[in-house]
Amino acid sequence: MSALATGPAVLAAARATVADASRVATSPKNASAASVRYRRQKVGDVDLFYREAGPVDAPVILLLHGFPTASHMFRDLLPQLADRFRVIAPDLPGFGQTKAPPRGTFAYTFDALATVVGGFVEALGLTRYALYIFDYGAPVGLRLAMRHPERVSAIVSQNGNAYVEGFSDQWGPWEAYWRDPSASNREACRSSLAPDTIRNWQYGTGADPLRLSPDGYELDIAYMARPGADEIQLDLILDYRTNVALYPAFQAYLRKHRPALLAVWGRHDPAFLPAGATAYRRDVPDAEVHLLDTGHFALETHHAEIAALMRGFLVRGT
pTM, two decimals, is 0.91
Q: Please tell me the distance from the alpha carbon of residue 217 to that of residue 156, in angstroms, as a whole number.
A: 23
Position 87 scores a pLDDT of 99
In a domain, 204, yes or no: no
Given 65, 72, 290, 296, the catalytic residue: 296
Q: Which helix (H) or strand (E) holds 51?
A: strand 46-53
In a domain, 24, yes or no: yes
Find, among 168, 161, 234, the residue nearest to 206 by Cα. 168
Q: For 105-141, what is each residue's pLDDT tens digit?
A: 999 999 999 999 999 999 999 999 999 999 999 999 9
Q: Please tell me the distance from the alpha carbon of residue 136 to that of residue 142, in angstroms, as a whole number.
A: 10
Position 71 scores a pLDDT of 99
pLDDT tens digit at each of 318 positions of the chain: 334 454 444 454 445 444 444 444 444 445 566 799 999 999 999 999 999 999 999 999 999 999 999 999 999 999 999 999 999 999 999 999 999 999 999 999 999 999 999 999 999 999 999 999 999 999 999 999 999 999 999 999 999 999 999 999 999 999 999 999 999 999 999 999 999 999 999 999 999 999 999 999 999 999 999 999 999 999 999 999 999 999 999 999 999 999 999 999 999 999 999 999 999 999 999 999 999 999 999 999 999 999 999 999 998 866
In a domain, 305, yes or no: yes
Domain range for 64 is: 3-173+243-317
In a domain, 180, yes or no: no
Position 33 scores a pLDDT of 65
Say whether 257 is catalytic.
no
In a domain, 68, yes or no: yes
Position 318 scores a pLDDT of 61
Q: Please tell me the distance from the alpha carbon of residue 89 to that of residue 50, in angstroms, as a whole number.
A: 5
Q: Which helix (H) or strand (E) holds 3?
A: strand 3-5
Phi, psi dihedrals of residue 40, rounded to the nearest 5° = -135, 150
Counting the structural domains of the chain, the total is 1
Distances (CA, A) of 144 to 39, 120, 168: 22, 11, 26
**Spacing of C-alpha 69 from chain mean position:** 10
In a domain, 192, yes or no: no
Q: Please tell me the distance from the alpha carbon of residue 157 to that of residue 136, in angstroms, as a whole number.
A: 11
In a domain, 161, yes or no: yes
In a domain, 213, yes or no: no
The total of other beta-carbon atoms located within 10 Å of residue 169's CB is: 7
CATH assignment at residue 57:
3.40.50.1820
